[in-house]
Structure 1
């Protein structure tokens, strides 16, 4: 893939605001051929599409679709519309995600939170990628899939058990998909798995960054992810301490890790004051 997204067709989920909107703005700045925005918030999506369209000034075609990616049937319908309007995207950014509450698992909402979190965070990226992968493979053009997971998927975190599970599943699927594409000889389609710590978008308002893992600025995350995507890097970890924690989790006895990293570094208490949005 070239060093920029110039001429590419890009689809971004959760694109009405936050980092989704920032990815779209980056694509427009690099003269992408088209940017397709998916989000469930119709009002915010319409406003974002208007504003980004004004910035694009016709150089990049901006399209938007109201899609609740937690509705797996809606994904297939919207994907069909995208293929008719712009063909198969060259870049898919699975950015949409939710997190619910800061309660213990047994205090959550009788399974409703669990179903919603797993559908949006785990099943949706799989279903969306499945919709577009055949076209990406057949086109032989350089293509990218970016799956936004989380550092929470790499280690346990109290008060966000289902969220951590949903992101752990994304990491396992995403990296397996990368290897499958390589084994099958489809090297032109590359998968980047992203595992950031807390990002200051409002989604994790009130959460405290553990020691050595300060809350990240969205602009920093977007820049690192974008460059990693263009380069086709398998993994983007933010900050560096996320990688360190994975190593320590593998080599330390469980109870030692719990005391030294989980409790000592503040990982296990980072969600106690969480008030963010779902």
Structure 2
């Protein structure tokens, strides 16, 4: 069931202060969403984004939320329901990545907890706040979750990040199947698995064979359209789909040789990330 536009819908975007989240929010405003709800932990950037998006015919609401905190999610979701109402379109975009060291060199174990909390658990808890109403209501609804190609193919120097995105992908696609099995066709789940994007989060990471660093606008445009179409899985770019397919066919040793040769296994060696 296609959704031609989000006009008149209520949209919530996490990690909305900058990067992909901001672009998703801008897209919702351009299409005439009834309300756009912005969640982010960066209060200053969040206020700036909310200010820039206001006054264009869409009600813009912003909440400073640390999505690694389950209690904060519950409180913010209650505030949204009270002030805005039920959400029709949920964009699980917030994410972090830490370090480029080998796993056994991890110095701060809190980074593990934080990565899993934001990348894996937060989409679950946030969706749990809004999905029941989506199921109950009869209007077209969507859940869009930004996972990663790291959730498709293992990669050195990002083991915890990969684990968090494997979890996000497995959870998101399972929820899609549950909705289909239960006959709730008006609610569609889309999971996006891009390679590195030029948001600053992966500064220092390098592209590999036929796979340059992706442009933010390209990822948002494709994700948005696929979400409205109700398509289940978006893998960007085509080389990532190829790597996934070959990883499922080749014996492990040959897979490792191939992915190392094309540069996947070396792509994080000079990673610095956003400061």
Q: TM-score range by the shorter chain?
A: over 0.9
In 1: Cα distance, 2:212 partner to 2:108 partner = 33
Is 1:143 aligned to residue 144 of structure 2?
A: no
Question: Are 2:3 and 2:230, in contact at CA under 8 Å, matched by a contact in 1?
Answer: no
Deviation at 1:212, TM superposition (A): 2.1
Q: Match of 1:269?
A: 266
Deviation at 1:107, TM superposition (A): 1.2
Q: Give 1:1-150 correspondences, 5 Å limit.
A: 1-54=2-55, 56=56, 59-150=57-148
In 2: Cα distance, 1:208 partner to 1:240 partner = 17
In 1: Cα distance, 2:107 partner to 2:75 partner = 29
Deviation at 1:151, TM superposition (A): 0.2
Deviation at 1:109, TM superposition (A): 2.7
In 1: Cα distance, 2:107 partner to 2:145 partner = 27
**TM-score between both structures, scaled by the size of structure 2:** 0.98
How many corresponding residue pairs?
Answer: 274
Question: Are 2:15 and 2:39, in contact at CA under 8 Å, matched by a contact in 1?
Answer: yes
Question: Are 1:209 and 1:270, in contact at CA under 8 Å, matched by a contact in 2?
Answer: yes
Partner of 2:47, secondary structure, is helix
Partner of 1:268, secondary structure, is helix
Deviation at 1:2, TM superposition (A): 3.3
Deviation at 1:100, TM superposition (A): 0.1
Question: Are 1:100 and 1:277, in contact at CA under 8 Å, matched by a contact in 2?
Answer: no
Gaps of at least 5 residues in structure 1 are none
- Structural RMSD (CA): 0.9
In 2: Cα distance, 1:109 partner to 1:129 partner = 32
Q: Match of 2:192?
A: 194
Question: Are 2:70 and 2:125, in contact at CA under 8 Å, matched by a contact in 1?
Answer: yes
Gaps of at least 5 residues in structure 2 are none
**TM-score between both structures, scaled by the size of structure 1:** 0.97
Worse-superposed segment, 40-49 or 106-115: 106-115
Worse-superposed segment, 101-110 or 88-97: 101-110
In 1: Cα distance, 2:199 partner to 2:173 partner = 26
In 1: Cα distance, 2:105 partner to 2:53 partner = 41
